[in-house]
Amino acid sequence: MTQDPTFKLDPRLAETTFDWGLAAPGLNLRLVNDSRWPWLLLVPQQADVVELDDLSPSALAILTKQAAILAAALRTVTGAPKTNIASLGNVVNQFHLHIIARKPDDLAGAGPVWGHGAAVPYEAGAADVLHQALLGEISPVGETT
């Protein structure tokens, strides 16, 4: 998908996440700054997308393909056996897809992570370590920079 020049990231998403660039053209990958769970967001860079069905068929296909790739990679690099994937939008209306690595003994247990206490920001450098590990998992050797 191509980036819509009128797209503007919701400031609540901008403030609570790290920008990890593009997962595909027009599809922004971000990390939620909450070290309790490895938690990615995919944000299509198109204005006025709120619901899954607001996306074009091609944009939806790109989104879900990248979600599947990233979910598998996130489990590999974190050792988590499970991923939660969701578009909720109960708080921030702008469409964003959550991809969250889950372990049975994590802080939310068998429950959802949304609304669970307060975020614990990453310590200096820790998010970059995760980013590099994820890039190493999804990119062919030699193309990870």
Which SS3 state, helix, strand or coil, does residue 100 take? strand
Alpha carbon distance 56, 27 (integer Å): 13
Site string for a second copy, 67-86 (x = CB under 8 A): xxx-xx--x------xxxxx
Minimum Å gap between C-beta 97 and a second copy is 9
- Measured from the CB atom, the residue of 23 and 127 that comes closer to a second copy is 23
Chain positions 84 to 113 lying near a second copy, rule: CB under 8 A, are: 84-91, 102, 109-112
Containing H/E element for 32? strand 27-32
Q: Is the dihedral of CA 73, 77, 80, 85 positive or negative?
A: negative
CB of 89 to a second copy, least distance (A): 6
Query: Which of residues 44 and 127 has its CB atom nearest to a second copy in the complex?
Result: 44
Provide the mask over 20-59, with x wherever binding to a second copy is found by CB under 8 A and - wherever it is not: ------------------------------xxxx-x-x--
Examine residue 115 and tell whether it contacts a second copy (CB under 8 A).
yes
Give the binding-site size for a second copy (rule: CB under 8 A).
33
Please state, in angstroms and rounded to a whole number, the distance separating the CA atoms of residues 124 and 101: 21
The rounded distance, in Å, linking the Cα atoms of 106 and 78 is 12
The whole-angstrom separation of Cα 136 and Cα 107 is: 27
